[in-house]
Chain A
Amino acid sequence: MPNLILTHTRYQFLEQLRVPIALVASAFFPAAAMLAFVVPFAGADPASATQATAGMMLFGAMSAALIGLSISVAQDREQPWDPYLRTLPAGPLPRFGGRIVTTMASMLLSVVPVLLISAFLTAAAVSPLRLALGIGALLVGSVPFMLMGLFIGYAVSPKAAIAVSQVTYFPIAALGGLLMPLEVMPSFVQSLAPFVPSRGAIELMWAAVAGRTPSPVSLAAFAAWIILAAAAATWAYRRDEGRRFS
């Protein structure tokens, strides 16, 4: 089975590498947000610049996972190649695995400009060890969003996937305190925040880069989201019979 995950990863990579413009697009958005929001407002203070950079990395990762993955899965399902793949002797695991690893790789590439901007244009500071931990936390933190992206991609059409993933993406990012600090948010947002997956993810990243202690409630909710989203994605995959071509 691990071999098949590798096989599917390699295949996804090859497809992605031959259309490099998609990589450029996914790198542009978080970098632009970094320049627009973090550099002018949080750039001067090392602690807040570091945490805001982590927030932007996660914001970008969520976009790649939720929006990027759901749209590409939904689009692939429109092609007759997808039903063929379903006749091969493989269940959802290799396909999910291949998609997740490939999306993580393009996510890591999209993080590079954010890190460069952070290093040269803000006061953010982090040790190499904490940076490595932070990237690890980013990968772990993106998992529930990948699974949600897979769920949306297998559940709805490409057009609906664009809408559903965006409508899911912004509220989850905002509720988790990725766009603005929770302290300035209304109190109902503050009471909801621990239960959204983005909160557990950002707390993991802050623990990694700044040594902050994550809230146990957020981490438990984060784990619960992974289980829930994995079950939903598997359900949608099994239920999907693709489009009818004949």
Chain B
Amino acid sequence: MTVLARAIDATRRYGDVLALDRVSLDIRAGELIGLLGPNGAGKSTLINLFVGLRRPTSGTMELLGGSPSDPAVRRSIGVTPQETGLPESLRVGEIVDFVSAHFPERYGTAELLARFGLGDLVKRQVGGLSGGQKRRLAVALAFAGRPRLVFLDEPTTGLDVEARRTLWEGIRSFHADGGTVVLTSHYLEEIEALAQRVVVIGLGRVLADGTVQAVRDVVGVRRVSFAAPAVPDLPSIMRSSVEDGRVHLLTTDSDLLVTELVRAGTAFADLEVRPTSLEEAFITITSKEEARA
């Protein structure tokens, strides 16, 4: 498959902060990729490098066979602005006209707005739109130039369930027509609903890259904790730590772990099993990465 965009050993620093650490990633034509990671993980920085907004401190970014900093190659991509930044004094139609004018191929303003359920709002000033309407307008702008590849940064944040599903339909139909999508979200549900390939980013690195199922397994980790003097040695333990006399174990199969624990005759008290949140799973994975580094 054709590679539309590629990061090769891309590192980006902001002063002392290492936002991206030698990331290599291929985005192939026709993929629908979800970038998943906690805030500050480096998702936005990675997208900013792909769209030419920032340059890597070291390493290389390729976009459609050229450099993201060349305006000509950016004719085939679409990006969502942050909805909080839309120019308030302009009308919806004026903004769409302005953005569309940059692209050789484009949807008509009316058609684009209709696709995103904004058809009635052409004449409205952006300042008077609701948060959800602004968000939909921002996502619509990414598609204004009939792009081959779109980067959608948190496309549905702040939308109600119905609007979110409508937007998902729009993204799916773009993808079904051959479009390539890179989207970020911190909703696992959204990534599951849309993406085929999931790239987990944490501490500026790619921690996992695979199918939705593979990443679900990473996130489907449970935490089993109890009071005990030492960490038992059991096969189903992914990771362990001791804190204030309590043993914390991470496992993908808590039932099996507890069974093993009982069979091994380990003395324990005050057993607790709970799901790890997405955030927690990332912290665990990333702290392991940190320990390794």
Instruction: Give the B-binding residues of A (Cβ under 8 A).
Output: 3-4, 7, 10-11, 14-15, 18-19, 79-84, 86-91, 241-242, 244-246
A-B CB contact pairs (8 Å), 30 listed: A3-B101, A4-B102, A7-B101, A10-B98, A11-B90, A11-B94, A14-B90, A15-B87, A80-B81, A80-B84, A81-B87, A82-B85, A83-B48, A83-B53, A84-B79, A84-B85, A86-B52, A86-B53, A87-B51, A87-B52, A87-B53, A87-B74, A88-B74, A88-B102, A89-B71, A89-B102, A89-B103, A89-B145, A241-B54, A241-B55
Cβ–Cβ contact B85 & A81, under 8 A: yes
A89-B75 CB under 8 A given contacts A14-B89, A246-B44: yes
A145 to B279, CA, bound (A): 51
As a 0/1 sequence over residues 58 to 91 of chain B, the CB contacts with chain A under 8 angstroms (1 = contact) are 0000000000000111110101011011110110
Cβ–Cβ contact A80 & B85, under 8 A: yes
Query: Which residues from chain B contact A86 at a C-beta distance below 8 Å?
Result: 52-53
Cβ–Cβ contact A11 & B98, under 8 A: yes
Cβ–Cβ contact A241 & B85, under 8 A: no
A15-B85 CB under 8 A given contacts A7-B102, A88-B74: no
Number of interface residues of B (CB under 8 A): 32
CB distance from B35 to the nearest CB of A (A): 13
A89-B72 CB under 8 A given contacts A15-B90, A84-B79, A246-B44: yes
Cβ–Cβ contact A7 & B98, under 8 A: yes
* B118 within 8 Å of A (CB atoms): no
Closest to B76 in A: A89
Query: Which residues from chain A contact B103 at a C-beta distance below 8 Å?
Result: 89
A89-B90 CB under 8 A given contacts A7-B102, A11-B98, A84-B81: no
Cβ–Cβ contact A15 & B89, under 8 A: yes
A89 to B76, CA, bound (A): 9
Interface of B is mostly: loop
A91 to B74, CA, bound (A): 11
Cβ–Cβ contact A87 & B89, under 8 A: no
Cβ–Cβ contact B14 & A244, under 8 A: yes
Closest to B127 in A: A18
Query: Which residues from chain A contact B90 at a C-beta distance below 8 Å?
Result: 11, 14-15, 18
CB distance from A6 to the nearest CB of B (A): 9
Apart from A11-B94, A80-B82, A90-B102, 15 more pairs, CB < 8 Å: A4-B102, A11-B90, A14-B89, A15-B87, A15-B89, A15-B90, A80-B81, A83-B53, A84-B82, A86-B52, A87-B79, A88-B102, A89-B72, A89-B102, A244-B14
* B159 within 8 Å of A (CB atoms): no
A81-B72 CB under 8 A given contacts A14-B89, A88-B102, A242-B53: no
Cβ–Cβ contact A19 & B89, under 8 A: yes
* B29 within 8 Å of A (CB atoms): no
Closest to B144 in A: A88
Query: Which residues from chain A contact B81 at a C-beta distance below 8 Å?
Result: 80-81, 84
* B99 within 8 Å of A (CB atoms): yes
Closest to B73 in A: A89
Q: Could you say which of B52, B73, B89 has the most chain A C-beta atoms within 10 Å of its C-beta?
A: B89
A15 to B95, CA, bound (A): 11
CB distance from B74 to the nearest CB of A (A): 4
Cβ–Cβ contact A14 & B79, under 8 A: no
Query: Which residues from chain A contact B86 at a C-beta distance below 8 Å?
Result: 81
A246 to B157, CA, bound (A): 14
Query: Which residues from chain B contact A242 at a C-beta distance below 8 Å?
Result: 53
A164 to B158, CA, bound (A): 40
Closest to A245 in B: B82
Query: Which residues from chain A contact B74 at a C-beta distance below 8 Å?
Result: 87-89
Cβ–Cβ contact B52 & A79, under 8 A: no
A7 to B106, CA, bound (A): 15
Query: Which residues from chain A contact B89 at a C-beta distance below 8 Å?
Result: 14-15, 18-19
Query: Which residues from chain A contact B44 at a C-beta distance below 8 Å?
Result: 245-246
Closest to B94 in A: A14
Closest to A78 in B: B85
As a 0/1 sequence over residues 92 to 128 of chain B, the CB contacts with chain A under 8 angstroms (1 = contact) are 0010001101110000000000000000000000000
A7 to B99, CA, bound (A): 9
A241 to B69, CA, bound (A): 12
CB distance from A83 to the nearest CB of B (A): 5
